[in-house]
Amino acid sequence: MDVGYDFLTPELMHAIFFQQKNVVVYPYLDIKHLRALELFTTGHSSIELDCTALNDIISILEHQAGSYSQSPPLFFVLNAGSNIIQSVKEIENVRYIINTNENVETFANGNQLLFYNKKNKKFVNPSIENSTELEFENEIFRQSQGDQDILQDLLMQIKGIATRIYKELVESGDVKRVQAILEEYESIFPRKFWSRILQFTQNFFKIVIPEEVTHSLLTSIPRVRSTKSSSSHRVNESDFSSEYEVILSTNRNIAQAFITSLHDYRSEHVNPANLEVVQLYDPRELYNYLRNHHWKDGISTEFIEQWVNFKDVLDTDEIELFFGLFSKLNVSTASLKLNEINQESKLISTQSISSPVINKQKPRKYSSPATYSPLPSIRNFVQFKEWILAQLDELERRR
């Protein structure tokens, strides 16, 4: 079964984003999943063209060839036949991603148009078999930790850097000012990846950066910063990376919700001027900062509420995973203001147990939903608790 994020791979990022290549994806892939690749089309405006509804696809693409725009179009050409693919290979200076259900491997005889077999997740072009090392692409995926919003943000950062470099080269040609731009983001994109950012700049803006300029930038002596070094500032800070790893290894949905909530909390509660650049975008670094400066006595209750409420209804497995995770992190659910709890009830403390334990009690009267009503959201803890106890009472009654 096709899933959109299955197509978010370092290889496809390398081809579509960094190399700015046109791609044919086959066999058939529905548009919802194909549009996942839009993440790698940063800087373009996407347009859909369905070959089953339009007869003049080629003329549309030819009309766009060579046209200038600050946000050039990138076409998603759907349901294309082999005749369309043969024709588009002759069109230059237009970006597109083509989807076809036909076997078109025989057309993969060059490297300008790349053919991607979605079944084996490989390019079939001979020149792509020995692709360059994907260290930069893998690093970007590592920093995003599976969160598509963060991944998109990182690619937009690279596009923004490239735009500044392009304007600087066109307007002044001052290599030192280009170096200063790259150094601003060195904590996110280290010096060893500068060549890849310069490569992207050339491919996106269709320019050639003189070899002597590239060489000068890549061999430049790092600038001595006047500010206090971050390493000395962090000497007395604790490392909470082990907590971070425990959270990320729990469950994919929970981990993604955690990272998204982390950045939401940062944007709402943290002055960005207090953060290093890497802490703005690397969730591990951000978590360590928050634990050292904002959450010294434990993870914020407000943050946990936002995190737990990542969807309206949690299934049983997710609830158990949360209880177990809170136990490992020594987080007590007694601190969660999910809603007022009945005075006679005791909150479950996960500091001493690894999973929730519900003691059998005598049947009580609750204003609970019907026996087979949907599981309420954990955000409404009173209703949630009553629903659980009502189900237990019903099971006890039927014994």
Q: Rounded to an integer, what distance in angstroms lies between the CA atom of residue 92 and that of residue 61?
A: 9
Which of 283-287, 299-303, 383-387 shows the lowest mean pLDDT across its residues?
383-387
pLDDT over threshold 80, residue 307: yes
Whole-number pLDDT of residue 126? 64
Q: Rounded to an integer, what distance in angstroms lies between the CA atom of residue 323 and that of residue 349?
A: 9
What number is the average pLDDT over the span 102-111?
A: 80
What 115-119 contacts at long range (C-beta under 8 Å, 24+ apart), as own/partner pairs, is 115/23, 115/24, 115/26, 116/12, 116/15, 116/23, 116/24, 116/25, 116/26, 117/26, 118/2, 118/7, 118/25, 118/26, 118/27, 118/29, 119/27
Ranges of CATH 3.40.50 domains, the chain: 4-132
What number is the average pLDDT over the span 127-137?
A: 71
Domain 4-132, CATH class in plain words? alpha beta
pLDDT over threshold 70, residue 374: no
- Please give the backbone phi and psi of residue 55, each rounded to the nearest 5 degrees, phi first: -105, -10
Q: Rounded to an integer, what distance in angstroms lies between the CA atom of residue 87 and that of residue 14?
A: 25
pLDDT over threshold 80, residue 130: no
Most confident of 76-90, 266-280, 300-314: 76-90
Whole-number pLDDT of residue 250? 80
pLDDT over threshold 60, residue 2: no
pLDDT over threshold 60, residue 393: yes
